[in-house]
Structure 1
Amino acid sequence: MHIAAHNWMRAEPIRRTLERMRANGIEALEIAGEPAQYDTREVRALLKEHGVRCWGAVTLTTGERNLVSRDAARREATVDYMKRVVTMTRELDGEIVSLVPATVGKVVADGTPEEEWKWLVEGVKEVYDHAVRAGVRIAIEPLNRFETYLINRGDQALALADAVGPECGVCLDVFHMNIEEVDLHAAFRQAEGRIHDVHLADSNRFALGMGHLDFAAIVQTLREVGYDGALSLEFVATVDRTPANPYGPQVETDPIDISPQQKQFLIDHGSHLLSDAFYSSLFTRSMQVLRPLVGPR
């Protein structure tokens, strides 16, 4: 196993992300699925400069992106978007795309379960076929019930992967698992041989060691099931706006220009944009927990 990190949790130039990763000894990047934001030639050069490789990408299924929309044109546009994420991943020599099928934050269905399963399988199959040709693996990621009404547990993700194709797998995120799984270790074991990616945050979605999850036990279970991919940091800290705040200043006072949609997505997850210093401290805390468990880089 190796350690990776996402970059969608803070709006910043990718050079700054890679500087922070290098400073913390993080080997690989799981890049935000926004192909229009990146010149892959420039990103490849930055990855090489900082001694970091691309592990893969995660779809940011926001706005009108939705594989189970009743609107066929919207479903088609979402498939096209996800294919572009796959292409970006291939151009960066990445291996996986973690795929979230339905709009994040949407908790009301558009159709019957039968209709939506049909749309879902058709859409993911089209993305999957493109990924197979590109040499990229697709991993279906469950989210908790407060972020999606569709695909909340590992067994549901496995059922979708089974319906899509033999090389389709799952991405399991321990924050979501802590909410939805009866036993997250049993969920890892059920997915043995099918786990393509693992995302890490603590029980409160802060950095590792700031909640109650037992990461030594989690890493041991992953070793037992033969997982040998990335452990990808994906914490999303909320801003404490009260006098009880134990973290010090958290809020970014000089944000870079980002799209309104991206800004809203970050605010919805954490209530505000995070400062560089506080965000960096979350990486340091996480690596203090994770590096001893994984071993030297």
Structure 2
Amino acid sequence: MKTLKSLALLAAVAVAGCLSTSAVRAADYEPVVGLQTWTCRNMKFDEVVAFAVKHKLKQIQMIGSHMDPNAPPEETKRKLAILAEKGLACYTFGVAGTSPDKEKNRKLFEFAKLVGCKLIVVEPKNDKALWDGLEELVKEYDIKLAIHNHGKDSVYGTPEKVWSVLKNRDKRIGVCMDVGHITGAGFDAAKAFREYEGRVYDIHLKDKKIEKVAGKDVMLDVKIGTGSANYKDLLAELKKANWNGVMAIETDDKGFANEPTEFVATAIEYVRTNKP
């Protein structure tokens, strides 16, 4: 009987400890802000590295012109050494092009393995055979895929279109939620995040709003927090979920890309001052 009571007491202490740890985690939650290098598309690799260091952004999502999956391994290793020296990490890359040929897609997974990425951002055609091949590679390499969304009329422009793939696939296939584009498509980013039920593995930190251009309504990129995206509630959802992904700062705007310093600095400051 004493043994049973002791076990019960230990179990109660363990549960209390777990609850306490969870509470601490929630209280201490700090969203991770990184850099999608499409924002710095006019820079060379070394310039991107210097830019990331300047803004203290350690988690980097590379586009192909900065780290190419088809480059010789020696070139990739050279760049990895530079990143490591500066305290940076290429945590993922994309939006990576895919092929109907499974073996061509294998190159993406081999590149991810070499770099140390556990996630690849993609936007393939919604083709069953193509997805079958990608899913097989996900299982073989134990590397996640995150489906990126563009505008409403694009192949994955609505959560419904994304779910048409997710619902029947390995749970390591999830979402790279572009907040600007999902907002521009007419959806609430916080609600979409919640309804993806833990399948959001990456976020593009972007904001958009409607402006009149030549008499027509056009969705334009704006500084984070000044557009239509529901960042207040999204940040609350991230904290509630104790989400451990990266919010990668990104812009499609040519003006911001030509001189991204202010855009990136204000994005960092927005998250810092508005996190719950």
Q: State the 1:57 CA deviation.
A: 1.2
Q: State the 1:160 CA deviation.
A: 0.3
- Inter-partner Cα distance in structure 1 for 2:120 and 2:174: 10
Contact 1:59 1:85 in 2 (8 A): no
Contact 1:121 1:164 in 2 (8 A): no
Q: CA RMSD in A?
A: 2.4
Bigger CA radius of gyration: 2
Q: Which moved more, 1:22-31 or 1:213-222?
A: 213-222
Q: Secondary structure at the match of 1:205?
A: strand
Q: Secondary structure at the match of 1:163?
A: coil
| Equivalent of residue 136 in structure 1, options 140, 143, 147 | 143
Q: Secondary structure at the match of 1:35?
A: coil
Q: State the 1:5 CA deviation.
A: 1.1
Q: Can you list the C-alpha shifts for 1:183-212, whole angstroms capped at 9, x where unaligned? A: 322211111211111111111324424434
- Asked if 1:54 corresponds to 2:90, the answer is yes
- Inter-partner Cα distance in structure 1 for 2:151 and 2:236: 24
Q: Secondary structure at the match of 2:35?
A: strand
Give 4+ residue runs of structure 1 displaced > 4 Å after superposition.
Answer: none
> Which residue matches 1:200?
205
Contact 2:189 2:229 in 1 (8 A): no
Unaligned runs of 5+ in 2: 1-30, 209-219
Which has a greater percent of helix? 2
> Which residue matches 1:29?
60
| Equivalent of residue 120 in structure 2, options 97, 100, 108 | 97
Q: State the 1:83 CA deviation.
A: 3.1
- Inter-partner Cα distance in structure 1 for 2:224 and 2:88: 21
**2:254 is aligned with what amino acid?**
T
Unaligned runs of 5+ in 1: 68-74, 103-116, 240-249, 251-273
Q: State the 1:175 CA deviation.
A: 0.8
Over 3 Å counting, the alpha-carbon distance change for 1:11 and 1:124 in structure 2 is farther
Over 3 Å counting, the alpha-carbon distance change for 1:292 and 1:53 in structure 2 is farther
- Inter-partner Cα distance in structure 2 for 1:200 and 1:281: 15
Contact 1:158 1:169 in 2 (8 A): no
- Inter-partner Cα distance in structure 2 for 1:16 and 1:131: 33
**2:130 is aligned with what amino acid?**
G
Over 3 Å counting, the alpha-carbon distance change for 1:144 and 1:191 in structure 2 is same
> Which residue matches 2:253?
237
| Equivalent of residue 225 in structure 1, options 220, 238, 241 | 241
Q: Which moved more, 1:27-36 or 1:40-49?
A: 27-36
- Asked if 1:213 corresponds to 2:213, the answer is no
Contact 1:89 1:97 in 2 (8 A): yes
**2:134 is aligned with what amino acid?**
V
Q: How many positions carry a matched residue from both structures?
A: 229
Contact 2:188 2:230 in 1 (8 A): no
Contact 1:2 1:294 in 2 (8 A): no
**2:52 is aligned with what amino acid?**
M
Matches within 5 A, 1:70-149: 75-76=100-101, 79-102=102-125, 120-145=127-152, 148=154
Which has a greater percent of strand? 2
Q: State the 1:214 CA deviation.
A: 4.1
| Equivalent of residue 189 in structure 1, options 187, 194, 203 | 194
> Which residue matches 1:14?
45
Q: State the 1:172 CA deviation.
A: 0.9
- Inter-partner Cα distance in structure 1 for 2:49 and 2:129: 36
